[in-house]
Each structure stands twice: as C-alpha cells, then as structure tokens.
Structure 1
Amino acid sequence: MNVLVVNAGSSSLKYQLLNTTTGEVFAKGNCERIGIDGSFIGHSENGKKDTLEVALPDHKTAIKHVFDILKTVDQPIEGIGHRVVQGGWYFPESKVVTDETLGWVREVAPLAPLHNYAEADVIEICREMFPELGNVIVPDTAFHYNMPEHAWRYAIPRDVVDTYHVRKYGAHGTSHRYIWRTVDEFTNHETHKLVSCHLGSGASLCAIEDGQCMDTTMGLTPLDGLVMGTRCGAVDPATVFYLNRVANMSIDEIDTMMNKQSGLLAVSAKSSDSRDIEAGMNEGDEKCAMALEMFYYRTSQLFAEMAASMEGVDTMAFTAGIGENSVTMRQGVADRLAWMGVKIDPELNAIRSDDPRVISTPDSKIRVLVVPTNEELMIALDVEALLG
C-alpha cells in the first residue's frame, strides 16, 4: 500500500510517500519556516533534491503545495497517515479520521498547542482535497497510554487529575513502538525487557516489557525527563513559582525559557546541537564538557529508573539523531552504566550503518544495540492495518 505520511510541526511540515510492503520511499520533503519570512520546501525524489522558495503563510497552504509537488511522482496515494503529537485521553491507539476523531485532536490541543492545531488543519485540508482517501491519526502518546496506573498517575488530588486529564502521556511513542518491533525481530524474540533510548534534540527513554509500555521519561508534556537540546528536562516544579515570584518572570516567559532556551544549549552556552558541543569539548571548552557529562548522567540515571519499572532489563537500544550517530554519547552513557554490567565494544560502536546492530561485548550483562528508527514506516503500517 502506498501511504503518504504527514508530520506537521509548529512551523514545519514533513512528508514522505512510501510503500508499506517494500519500504521504498518514492518521495519525501520538508516545508520549513511556515508562517515566517524566508519559507521554502525541500523535496527529494529519485535521488534528486530540489528547493522551492515559496510563501507558506500557514499549514493549509503548505500541504496544498505538497500535493502539487507529488503530482510528478508516478505512484498513487492510497492512504494518508498523520503523526499527531498529543492524543490525550481519546487515543489509546491509532484511529481512522472522522468528524469525531478530528474534533478530539482539537479538543486535546491545549496539551500541545503548537502542534495539534496545525496537525488538525492539515488533516482537514487533506479530507477536503481528497475525500476518496482514508486518513489515519497516529498519536505519539498512544503507545504509552496503557502503561500501569502507578506509572502514569501523578500524586495530586484526584478531582484535578480527572477533571483536567493531568497524567503522564509521554511522547516519541511511535518511535519506541518501532524500536520494540525491530529489536524483537532482530533478536529472534529473545528480548523481553527493553529500554528504548530515543536520543535526539528531543529525547526520551521507554521501558517496554514484551511489547507493553511500562513507563517513559516524558510526562504531561515533552518537557519532562532527560536533558535535551533546548529543553531543561526534569526540574523541581517549584522552580516555576520561584521564578514567577522572585524574578518576576511571567508564566509564558518561563515556558519559553524551559522549552527553547535551556538544556544542552544553556549549559554549553554554545549550541543545542550535540555535534557542536562534542567539538567544543574536544577543544577544551569546560562548559561543553559539563553539558555532555550532564547528558550522560541523566540518561544513565533514568535508564536505571526505567529498568526498575520492569524489575530488570536485558536489552537497551540507542536510536534517533544522537543515539544513532554519536559514538561519543553512546560510550559516555555506557560508561555510566558499567556498574549494571553494560559493556560496549569501541570498534563495534564506531561502525556506522543504516541497519540494526549489536555494539555490546559478549560478556555484557545487557545487550546493547543501535537501531535506526523509522516512524514514517510505523505510521504507514498503521494506515495499512486500519484502511486495509
């Protein structure tokens, strides 16, 4: 089945047309700087890359341009899958788009206002332009929704939790689900307790026991958990009240600071990109060295927390931009987990490949893999399963 996968961000829109049987990607691209001056579309097809400078005032305009571009692709679109950041309390699994399910995406949008409204607009225009095509909503939160109550419930009054749906939702669920599926097949079903390490500009860990999410590091929003590119990760919640009262910072200012001005960027005082920070560390920059040390520390600390949720762990898998590509980061995290018996082979760790691979030593107590993620394929497979 040929599926168009659409991923609408706050000011971007990624797309990919692929076949679920062969995994072949016919075309892909990214609409950048939507609603901002200097917007453009980068498109890749048959090994050729083109850039189209075009005004993109909103996401509806962007998706219309995408459909115009895809007319040149000699492959029919048979279904459309939409990555939705926040499914809230309505989506324990992916669902076909109807008036009702689209309404749910908008209803839960206050939990992810920069994403869900844009995603709903894109779904709406896809239905208008191609009423004959089925659309499927694939929320990032769905995989985590049925984790045990002791993991998702916060220790705040029940009426607040129930009325405002305050709980741990997590994120990167589609990626973590793909990693479980791939690791399970790759290890011939010998993996039972996996910690999936999605380490990128946004980062989260997920404890997966025999395919079931047991816990994850992101919370009500993607701000919680690990130190990330520009997000602070877990801090004392009272930090917000303190800065509001003492520093006279508004809630919006604190929100912006914690989401866009913190994390590796703040600690390194150099960049949110781990490659720049690693280069800085190698040049003797102490702030960059501290940023990396904090990243290793928090990742290893929360890895142990994820293992505790399953009362054990037999496999860990690195994925996403940093997890797949940074030899230094993987080694740093592994060194911090040596007390748990984690050992990785430096030569295996240095190998670059697009295929899943083992990088641990034979005597490592925990099997360590690098697994390139493929959220688009996972979304496309859900479309195929629901639309047939």
Structure 2
Amino acid sequence: MRVLTINPGSSSLKLSLLDPDGTLLAEESGPGGAVASLVAGLPRPDAVGIRFVHGGTAFTEPSVVDEKVRRRLRDLADLAPLHQPASLRALEEATQALPDIPIVACFDTAFHATLPEAAATYALPAAWRERFGLRRYGFHGLSFSYAARRAGELLGGVPPRMLICHLGSGASLCAVADGVSVDTTMGFTPLEGLVMGTRPGSIDPGIPMWLIKHGMAPPDIERGLERESGLRGLTGTPDMREIRKRAEARDVPALAALDVYHHRLRACAAAMAASLGGLDALVFTGGVGEHDTAVRERLGADLAFLGVRVDTARNAAASGDTDITAPGAAARTLVIRAREDLEIATGVRRALA
C-alpha cells in the first residue's frame, strides 16, 4: 500500500509518499492551504494519513475518517488552536483532491493513552474533570513512538528506561518504560511543560486569571500564550539558531533566554527520569534536538548524575541517526531523525488492515 502522509504545521505543510517498505518515493512542502496543488505533483497514493495533534479521549488509535469522525475532530479544535484547525483544513482539501482515497487520522495524543492515572490526573474539582474531560493528554506522540522504536533497533532492544526529548519550535519530553509512555511534560493542551519557540511552557495558573482581572481579554491572553511567549517573548525571535548567534556575540537577552530554556529543560528531564526510576537511554529528536549540538552537550552535562555522558566529537559530527555516547557512560545517548511520516504510514496500514 502506497501511503501519502500529510503533516500540517500552524502555517506550513509537509507531504511524503511512502511505499510499503517505508521508502520515501517523493515529498513536497508548502504553505498551509496548499494540499491540492502539492498532491497534484505527486504519484497517486492508495491511502492518506493526516497528523492530528489532539485526539482527546475519543481517539487512542489511528481512525478511518468518516462523517462521525470529522464531527468529533472539529469538537477538539479549541484544545490545540495552533494546530488542529490546520489539520482539519488539510483533511477537507485532501478529501476534495482525492475523493475516492481512504483517509486515516493519526493522533499525537494516542501514544500517551498509557499514562497511569497518577500522571494523567489534574488535582481539580471532580465536577470539572468529569464535565470537561480535564486531564493530561500529552503530545508529540507520533515522534515519540517512532523514536522509541528506532532506538530499540539501534540498541538491539528497547531500553527499559528511556527519556526522549522532542525539541523544536514546540517541545516536550516523554518518559518511556519498556516502550510505553508513562509520563510527559505537555498536558491538557500543548502549552504545558518546556519553554518553546512561542509558548511559555508551565506557568503559574494564577497569571491568566490575574491578567483577566486587570482588564486583558481572554483572546488576547490566548494569543500571547500561543504566539508571543517562550523564546520569542524573551528575545523577540523564536529561532534558536538566531538566539545562538546573538549569544555568541554576548547579547544579554539571548544569554538569559538560554539559561531560562535550559533551567526548565534540566528540571523537566530530571522529573521524567524520576518517573522512570533512573535512566538507561537519552534520545534527542526534533529540529533543535537533531541539529543543536550545544543543547545536547549542555543537557548531557546536566544529567551526568544519571549516568549520561556525551562524546564531544561524536556530538559535533552527528548526522542522521547517531550514537553520541561517551565511552564508559552508564546511559546511552542517541540522536534520532524525526520521522513522523513513517509512524503515520504505519498507523494508516494498521487502521485499514
């Protein structure tokens, strides 16, 4: 089965066409809303898989899209306002461009359906939790699922206690025990956890309430949290590469932003390791995780007390899927290229089997 995967970002699209053994036959990328024009340049697929950030409690497996599924997906849109509307738009465009091809929705939240209740439950009134489904869902599950499986291939078996760091414009960590998600840093929405490109990560929940009491409108607060916070709020840019350049020139806001970023990253990584009871492997993936040697070096040093040691030369030369573990380290450290397209294609075939 030849599968076309569609990975919508908040303002961009990436399409990949994969043959049955996972070989990449063709790929296209472009702005949001360009599914029809991008599909026109690709060979015809047998099935389509679309990444959806939020599946709520309704979707814990890839799901063939019908009208009932479409309605439920629309109901989840306000939980991931940067991403879900883009996926819904891609779904409509793919349906129009390929009307007789089955479409499967694949969910970032699904990998975290295994979270134990202690990790998934917010200490909120029961009436709120039951009425609104308030719980920790977790995200980046397609990336985590692929990275866990790929780490097992590289190491000759999935490590019992693995911390996966998906670091990009959006960022989260996942504690993986024997291949299963047991804790993660994102929660009800993709705002919780690490400092990100435009999102603040975890903040005091009293801050939005205080701002509302002092005259700010909820839509303005939402926009600020989704699009104007994180690294952008600290430096004016969400681009880690630009911040690195400024830091090398001893720009004070850039240096301070990196300290804030790493303070939260170190604390969250240690918390994930505590959920696992130790660490056998540390995995970096995502745009920053794959390409920023300094982030890997600094977190490796921060986690030295857990047996992590990064080899400086291997780290500097890392390209693609690479082992950057220093000799004698108790925990292995890997860099794994993010391949959500392969995970989506696997989900499509499973759903249509």
Structural mapping, 1:50-129, within 5 Å = 59=33, 62-70=34-42, 75-129=43-97
1:298 aligned residue: 264
Distance 1:92 1:190 in 2: 22
Partner amino acid, structure 1, of 2:8:
A
| Structure 2 CA distance for aligned equivalents of residues 224 and 20 of structure 1 | 36
Pairing 1:346–2:346 present: no
In structure 1, what is the Cα distance between the partners aligned to 2:256 and 2:39? 46
Pairing 1:157–2:112 present = no
Aligned to 1:243: 211
> How many residue pairs are counted as aligned between the two chains?
353
Give the whole-Å Cα distance in 2 for the aligned partners of 1:291 and 1:129. Answer: 44
Say if 2:200 is the partner of 1:232.
yes
Post-superposition CA distance 1:83-123 (Å, at most 9, x none):
01111111111111122222211122221234334423432
**Structure-1-length-normalised TM-score:** 0.87
- Greater relative contact order (CA < 8 Å, ≥ 6 in sequence): 2
Give the aligned residue type for 2:19. Answer: N
TM normalised by structure 2 equals 0.95
CA RMSD of aligned residues (A): 1.7
One-letter amino acid matched to 1:377? L
One-letter amino acid of the structure 2 residue matched with residue 359 of structure 1? I
Report whether the alignment pairs 1:358 with 2:323. yes
CA–CA distance in 2 between the matches of 1:190 and 1:79?
30
Structure 2 Cα separation of the partners of residues 162 and 13 of structure 1: 35
Larger radius of gyration between Structure 1 and Structure 2: 1
1:381 deviation in Å?
A: 1.4
Check conservation: 1:86, 1:116, Cα contact below 8 A.
Answer: yes
CA distance in 1, matches of 2:232, 2:85: 28
Residue 127 of structure 1: CA displacement? 3.4
Partner of 1:324: 290
User: Where does the alignment leave 5 or more consecutive residues of structure 1 unmatched?
Assistant: 35-58
User: Match of 1:278, SS?
Assistant: helix
In the aligned structure 2, how far is the partner of 1:173 from the partner of 1:308?
20
Using the aligned pairs only, state the percent identity: 37
The SS at the match of 1:87 is coil
- The alpha-carbon deviation at position 283 of structure 1 amounts to 0.7
Look up the match of 2:232.
265
Q: Match of 2:29, as an amino acid?
A: G
Could you list the runs of 5+ residues in structure 2 that have no partner in the other structure?
none
Mark the CA change 1:323 to 1:145 in structure 2 (over 3 Å): closer, same or farther: same
Q: Contact (CA 8 Å) 1:296, 1:336: kept in 2 or not? A: no
Name the structure 2 match of 1:214.
Answer: 182
Q: CA separation in 1, counterparts of 2:22 and 2:72?
A: 33
Residue 370 of structure 1, aligned match among 318, 335, 340:
335
1:280 Cα deviation from its structure 2 partner: 0.9
